[in-house]
Amino acid sequence: MLSAIEITATILEGKTTAVEQLETHSARVDAVNPKFNVLVWQDREGAMAEARAATRKRPEGRARCGCTVCQSP
């Protein structure tokens, strides 16, 4: 499992997309949540809409959120 900073770096480097990361993490939640019942509500549609928007912006070089990772050269 990568940290949030590492995931952000892979997205910024073009190694993966926000959509791919969301799909990966959603599958993991589906696999483990029934045992632990930690997440009682999820906005998967909203999260996917945000991931698609971020993925569309990335090729244009506009995927910058303002954090120190995104501001890195």
Q: pLDDT tens digit string along 53-66?
A: 988 887 655 545 55
Q: Can you give the C-alpha Rg of the chain in angstroms?
A: 14
**What's the pLDDT score for residue 1?**
80
Q: Flag whether pLDDT at 67 surpasses 60.
A: no
With respect to residue 65, please indicate whether it lies within any of the assigned structural domains. Answer: no
Q: What does the block give as tokens for 68?
A: 């120190």
Query: What pTM was computed for the model?
Result: 0.75
Which structural domain, as residue segments, surrounds residue 20? Answer: 4-60
With respect to residue 39, please indicate whether it lies within any of the assigned structural domains. Answer: yes
The values of phi and psi at residue 7, to 5°, are -65, -45
Q: Flag whether pLDDT at 68 surpasses 90.
A: no
Q: What does the block give as tokens for 63?
A: 């995927």
> What is the count of structural domains for the chain?
1
Tell me the mean pLDDT in the region 64-72.
Answer: 53
Q: What does the block give as tokens for 67?
A: 């954090």
The residue type of 48 is M
With respect to residue 41, please indicate whether it lies within any of the assigned structural domains. Answer: yes
Closest C-alpha among 48, 45, 40 to residue 24: 48
